[in-house]
């Protein structure tokens, strides 16, 4: 049976990415070797990482003065790498969920952290709007998309300090004004590649302004200088990332992806809003295009398990909500076809008719 | 043409590992989904990581009180994680090559580092033997196999302090007395898996004795507590690692691998030693079983390129020596069949007859 993959991450990748990765495991770039067993210094792989860096720059229209890195360790490692490299005295953070809160915890090891706002009071069901960022902050850190709670900031705030963003779960779903940022980072396992690589976009002039010694592997300058090849990079995840980037370019780039993403989200949110049984969990204006969180209305709460069973019978995978929210979460990443959303909506309608 | 893969890393993996990984990219554990796009929290993947941890314990006969972790970031990240977690006042290191020297550099950020010996004086062509480790050192760090220079320590030293070892390029090639170690770490991309995961074996009672704050992702206790699932682990590399571990078990375990490795190395070193044109570069008693470094004797030095061309014509890949040593380096990792070594030896003999 065809599966409809709504996992929150690692999550669905395009068939183009999967097929080309499978092929490279048999025979990579005509070398007669598997991509799993070629040197990262081989000319065939250096061509891969070079092209991947170039395509990220092209797709996100990254201005001069920025470097694109592919690092191991996950976005969680960036929670400490960002303040290691950028926090001199004070940084501003906004607390919009679990990952934002984890980033704040790490930053506090390095200096003063001004948490300018938090939506923890309402279980992170909204994005705080009215806050002041101190002008003497080294940077303002925010999580663009809160995977667990289903809220999202789909714009680049105009502030008086440089931005730093964790875009793990919505990078490549909208155009970004990179010039406002010192650092953008994203674990690849949502809109890019299998897990194991983190993309980091770093403004070179933002580096080298802190006094503390930085361990070599945690110093962005190490990886800038060596083009992400200071040590052995995660070869296979980078190869898969390149396939996804090529696929995005072929489909028309980021704006084309955004149109598809908005259409998918609209379809599902409309189904939720017009439903008698289901309800969204977050402030409508802060709804995520990537992760749609919803629950059974209280009077139908006991039917949750039955709906999950119906969904499973239709080939739907990964819509059980995170334990912090409960209910359901449908992740509509770039690679998810709208047909899968229709299958989910049909299942919701069928279920509603039955009860 | 069949390729003979002598890359130093990422390097040859068993066909069993490659085939099973390719299959899982099409359909992982009967889920109908690719291993590239399944949640790390799915029951199918948690079974993978659990079994991989178990098999490492079984194959290396790890005693109680140790945890096996699968981390991102590479062995180079361990160069700072080890002192972050273990270095209170002073640590002892031995400098046997580039990676040992990199590890020393990082440790110096955290406390006093006593470099008990170095073979830098002779371009790392030997392993220093007579050195004293101070009794008040928190640990003694060494690199078991020096991939670049082709030297190896194939035993677990008896010292008065706990050992810490970088076994990136010879783990699973000999039995190890793990009880002597506080930490053993190894980038996977030699004897285990594609790049992107590092295996860390850590003695639980060695943790928690330093005063400094440790960033969450760099604290071994984080990963011990969460079974390597604090954040999203590198799923595909861990899946491939499990295949290799199963393959080792099926072949008879580590002692069986060691017999095969010793036979391969003996074959090649004998060919070098009996040759008129080729010569080994390191002290014979310190020769690595994994990475065989050799050069053309001075009088034949100009024929280096011609031999590389002959080797390439036989399907031999990856024997160009590292720029720090020059000449040739043949890496004979576990997955390399002895037939490939025979092809190389035949090429050497053919070349010698011709000249």
pLDDT at A38 over 90: yes
A243 touches chain B (CB under 8 A): no
Helix/strand number for chain B, H first, E second: 9, 14
pLDDT value at residue A161: 98
The contacts of residue B31 (CB under 8 Å, 6+ apart) are A3, A317, B38, B42, B44
Please, are residues B149 and B175 in contact by the beta-carbon 8 Å criterion? no
* DSSP secondary structure letters along B241-278: HHHHHHHHHHHT-HHHHHHHHHHHHHHHHHHHHT-SSE
A235-251 vs A15-26: helix axis angle to the nearest 10? 140
Contact across the interface for A105 and B216, Cβ inside 8 Å? yes
CATH code of residue A80? 3.40.640.10
A27 touches chain B (CB under 8 A): no
pLDDT at A1 over 90: no
- Are B224 and B278 within one domain? no
Q: Which of B26, B73, B335 sits opposite A72 (nearest CB)?
A: B73
Q: Give B254 to chain A, closest Cα distance, Å.
A: 21
- ipTM surpasses cut 0.95: yes
- Are A236 and A117 within one domain? yes
The residue-averaged pLDDT of A142-156 equals 98
pLDDT value at residue A153: 98
Q: Give B65 to chain A, closest Cα distance, Å.
A: 25
Q: Which of A191, A225, A251 is the last residue of a domain?
A: A251
Q: Give B80 to chain A, closest Cα distance, Å.
A: 6
pLDDT tens track for A42-77: 999 999 999 999 999 999 999 999 999 999 999 999
Token pair recorded at residue B49:
């990581």
pLDDT value at residue B84: 98
Give percent of chain A above pLDDT 70.
100
Catalytic residue numbers of A, as ranges = 99, 166, 190
Q: Report CA-CA distances (Å) from B73 to A66, A197, A234.
A: 22, 9, 9
pLDDT value at residue B133: 98
Contacts of B329 in chain A (CB under 8 A): none
Q: Which of B199, B233, B251 is the last residue of a domain?
A: B251
- Are A197 and A64 within one domain? yes
- Are A142 and A279 within one domain? no
Contacts of B84 in chain A (CB under 8 A): 215
Identify the closest residue of chain B to A103 by CA–CA distance: B216
Find the helix or strand (DSSP H, E) in which A279 lies: strand A278-280
CATH code of residue A325? 3.90.1150.10
pLDDT value at residue A152: 98
pLDDT tens track for A219-239: 999 999 999 999 999 999 999
Mean pLDDT by 10 residues, chain B (355 residues): 95 98 97 97 97 98 98 97 98 98 98 98 97 98 98 97 98 98 98 97 98 97 97 98 98 98 98 98 98 97 96 97 95 98 98 95
pLDDT value at residue B34: 98
Q: Is residue B118 part of a domain?
A: yes
pLDDT value at residue B1: 85
Q: Is residue B161 part of a domain?
A: yes
- Which residue of the set B190, B203, B264, B320 is catalytic? B190
- Are B238 and B262 within one domain? no
Q: Which of B109, B187, B218 sits opposite A232 (nearest CB)?
A: B187
Contact across the interface for B26 and A25, Cβ inside 8 Å? no
Q: Which of A33, A37, A194 sits opposite B36 (nearest CB)?
A: A194
The contacts of residue B299 (CB under 8 Å, 6+ apart) are none
- Are B202 and B273 within one domain? no
- Are B113 and B197 within one domain? yes
Q: Report CA-CA distances (Å) from A276 to A299, A355, B333.
A: 10, 10, 62
- Are A335 and A219 within one domain? no
Q: Which of A1, A36, A72 sits opposite B72 (nearest CB)?
A: A72
Q: Which of A193, A217, A251 is the last residue of a domain?
A: A251
- Are B135 and B210 within one domain? yes
The contacts of residue B205 (CB under 8 Å, 6+ apart) are B65
Please, are residues B17 and B335 in contact by the beta-carbon 8 Å criterion? yes
A2 touches chain B (CB under 8 A): yes
Where does the pLDDT of residue A111 fall: very low under 50, low under 70, confident under 90, or very high at 90 and above? very high
How far apart (Å, rounded) are the C-alpha atoms in residues A233 and A228? 7
Instruction: Give the domain range for residue B331.
Output: 253-354
pLDDT value at residue B311: 98
pLDDT value at residue B125: 98
Is the backbone peptide bond immediately before A318 cis, with ω within 30 degrees of 0?
A: no
Contact across the interface for B18 and A38, Cβ inside 8 Å? no
- Give Rg (Cα) of chain B: 21
Contact across the interface for B76 and A234, Cβ inside 8 Å? no
What is the b/e burial string over A263-277, where b = at least 16 CB atoms within 10 angstroms of the residue's CB?
ebbebbbebbeebeb
- Are A201 and A337 within one domain? no
Q: Which of A13, A189, A232 sits opposite B34 (nearest CB)?
A: A13
Contact across the interface for B196 and A13, Cβ inside 8 Å? no
Where does the pLDDT of residue A296 fall: very low under 50, low under 70, confident under 90, or very high at 90 and above? very high
Closest among B194, B173, B171 to B7, alpha carbons compared: B194
Contact across the interface for B1 and A32, Cβ inside 8 Å? yes
Q: Is residue B7 part of a domain?
A: no
Please, are residues A289 and A154 in contact by the beta-carbon 8 Å criterion? yes
Q: Tell me, what DSSP letter sits at residue B170?
A: T
Place of tokens 């360790």: A73
Q: How crowded is the C-beta side of B200, counted as CA atoms within 13 Å?
A: 30
- Are B164 and B273 within one domain? no
List the single best residue of B17, B194, B322 to mutate versus A (max A Cβ within 10 A): B194
Number of domains observed in the structure of chain A? 2
The residue-averaged pLDDT of A74-93 equals 98
pLDDT tens track for A235-276: 999 999 999 999 999 999 999 999 999 999 999 999 999 999
- Are A129 and A199 within one domain? yes
Q: Is residue B2 part of a domain?
A: no
Q: Is residue B5 part of a domain?
A: no
pLDDT value at residue B79: 98
Identify the closest residue of chain B to A39 by CA–CA distance: B10
B109 touches chain A (CB under 8 A): yes
Parallel/antiparallel/unpaired status of strands B181-187 and B90-95: unpaired
How far apart (Å, rounded) are the C-alpha atoms in residues B260 and B268? 13
């Amino acid at each position: 049976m065809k599966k409809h993959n709504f996992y929150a991450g690692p999550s669905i990748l395009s068939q183009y990415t999967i097929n080309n990765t499978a092929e490279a495991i048999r025979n990579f770039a005509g070398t007669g070797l598997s991509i799993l067993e070629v040197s990262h210094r081989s000319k065939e792989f250096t061509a891969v990482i070079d092209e991947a860096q170039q395509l990220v720059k092209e797709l996100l229209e990254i201005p001069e003065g920025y470097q694109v890195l592919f690092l191991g360790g996950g976005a969680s490692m960036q929670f400490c790498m960002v303040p290691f490299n950028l926090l001199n005295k004070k940084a501003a953070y906004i607390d919009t969920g679990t990952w934002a809160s984890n980033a704040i915890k790490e930053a506090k090891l390095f200096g003063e952290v001004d948490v300018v706002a938090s939506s923890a009071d309402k279980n992170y069901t909204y994005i705080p709007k009215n806050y002041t960022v101190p002008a003497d902050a080294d940077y303002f850190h925010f999580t663009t998309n809160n995977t667990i709670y289903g809220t999202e900031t789909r714009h680049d705030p105009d502030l008086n300090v440089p931005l730093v963003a964790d875009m793990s779960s919505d990078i490549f779903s909208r155009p970004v004004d990179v010039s406002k940022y010192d650092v953008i980072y994203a674990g690849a396992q949502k809109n890019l590649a299998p897990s194991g690589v983190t993309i980091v976009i770093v403004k070179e002039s933002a580096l080298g302004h802190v006094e503390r010694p930085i361990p070599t592997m945690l110093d962005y300058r190490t990886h800038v200088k060596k083009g992400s090849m200071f040590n052995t990079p995660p070869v296979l995840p980078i190869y898969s990332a390149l396939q996804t980037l090529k696929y995005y370019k072929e489909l028309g780039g980021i704006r084309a992806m955004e149109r598809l993403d908005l259409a998918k989200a609209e379809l599902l949110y409309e189904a939720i809003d017009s439903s008698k049984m289901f309800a969204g969990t977050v402030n409508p204006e802060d709804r995520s295009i990537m992760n749609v969180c919803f629950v059974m209305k209280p009077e139908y709460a006991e039917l949750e398990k039955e709906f999950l069973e119906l969904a499973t019978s239709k080939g739907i995978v990964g819509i059980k909500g995170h334990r912090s929210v409960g209910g359901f979460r449908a992740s509509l990443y770039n690679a998810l076809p709208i047909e899968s959303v229709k299958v989910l909506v049909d299942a919701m309608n069928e279920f509603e008719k039955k009860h």
